[in-house]
């Protein structure tokens, strides 16, 4: 009987020793492989973060067809002044971004240059208010603008501008990155419309909604001098001027 117990004890001892050895090898191998992989992951993560920061601060390029398109615009509109349009564009972008930051459309509303774009900005601000979104644009600086396209049909001409600019950006939006210590470099596409033939032009093309300041009724004919409902005088819109009709950040990281 003692003999049997001794053999059994020896047998169990050997099995235990083997289990311990296998366990030690297993944990050692797992620790070393896992450790290396974690290190690699950390490196990749740091690298990706650096790339994202570089991209955030890289001055964005713009596709410039200015030298090709400007002569065509000048042929149709001899009084066209590129530098003036670029400076109006910058002034408008500044005003719109400030309006979005303050969630206040009153300055945009009061500017006849922004009459086509005002409804869109108003809608954006209403959306931000209802979704409790804040956006801040500080130290706005413009790098460069270029004309990227020009079209003329149906009584209206459209110039599209591409603008590269930078600002310190802060927001609680989930779809946009922001770094408090880095200046964001981005790009906007804006469009300017000049209505040269009112008889061919249909307001629906611009989707502008101009309302009577007295009764709030929509002004269906932009050429009207009086509101057709309350007869209050309506300030005529100068259609024969380049006015911003769309505004969009076309770069997102
Ligand atoms: Zn009215």
- pTM listed for this prediction: 0.77
**pLDDT by residue (tens digit) across 102-135?**
999 999 988 888 988 988 999 999 999 999 999 9
Confidence of residue 95 (pLDDT cuts 50, 70, 90): very high
Helices first, then strands: H and E counts in the chain: 5, 4
- Distance between Cα 224 and ligand 1 center (Å): 11
CATH architecture for residues 62-249: Roll (3.10)
- Distance between Cα 12 and ligand 1 center (Å): 100
- Distance between Cα 215 and ligand 1 center (Å): 4
Of 50-54, 126-130, 231-235, the range with the lowest mean pLDDT is: 231-235
Structural domain boundaries in the chain: 1-57, 62-249
- Distance between Cα 209 and ligand 1 center (Å): 14
- Per DSSP, 13 falls in state H
Q: Tell whether the model's pLDDT for residue 89 goes beyond 70.
A: yes
More confident residue, 204 or 250: 250
Strand 184-195 to strand 156-171: parallel, antiparallel, or no bridges (unpaired)?
Answer: antiparallel
SS3 content of the chain, % helix, strand, coil (to 5): 45, 25, 35
H/E run at residue 78: none
Q: Whole-angstrom Cα distance, residue 168 to residue 136?
A: 8
- Distance between Cα 211 and ligand 1 center (Å): 8
Average pLDDT over residues 30-37: 70
Strand 184-195 to strand 243-249: parallel, antiparallel, or no bridges (unpaired)?
Answer: antiparallel
CA angle 240, 246, 247 (to 5 degrees): 130
**pLDDT by residue (tens digit) across 170-210?**
999 988 889 989 999 999 999 999 988 877 766 666 656 67
> Residue 234: phi, psi to the nearest 5?
-115, 130
């Amino acid at each position: 009987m003692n003999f049997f117990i001794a053999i059994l004890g020896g047998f169990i001892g050997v099995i235990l020793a083997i289990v311990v050895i296998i366990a030690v090898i297993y944990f050692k191998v797992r620790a070393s492989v896992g450790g290396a992989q974690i290190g690699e992951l950390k490196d990749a993560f740091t690298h990706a973060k650096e790339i994202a920061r570089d991209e955030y601060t890289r001055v964005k390029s713009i596709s410039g067809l200015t030298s090709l398109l400007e002569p065509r615009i000048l042929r149709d509109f001899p009084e066209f002044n590129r530098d003036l349009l670029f400076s109006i564009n910058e002034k408008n972008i500044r005003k719109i971004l400030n309006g979005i930051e303050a969630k206040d459309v009153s300055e945009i509303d009061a500017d006849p240059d922004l009459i086509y774009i005002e409804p869109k900005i108003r809608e954006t601000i209403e959306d931000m208010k209802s979704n409790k979104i804040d956006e801040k644009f500080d130290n706005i600086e413009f790098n460069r603008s270029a004309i990227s396209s020009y079209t003329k049909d149906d009584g209206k001409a459209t110039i599209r501008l591409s603008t590269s600019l930078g600002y310190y950006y802060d927001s609680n939006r989930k779809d946009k990155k922001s770094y408090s210590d880095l200046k964001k470099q981005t790009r906007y596409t804006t469009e300017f419309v000049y209505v040269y033939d009112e008889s061919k032009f249909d307001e629906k093309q611009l989707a502008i909604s101009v309302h009577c300041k007295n009764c709030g009724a929509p002004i269906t004919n932009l050429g009207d001098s009086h509101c057709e409902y309350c007869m209050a005088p309506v300030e005529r819109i100068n259609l024969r001027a380049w006015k911003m009709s769309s505004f969009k950040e076309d770069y997102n990281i």
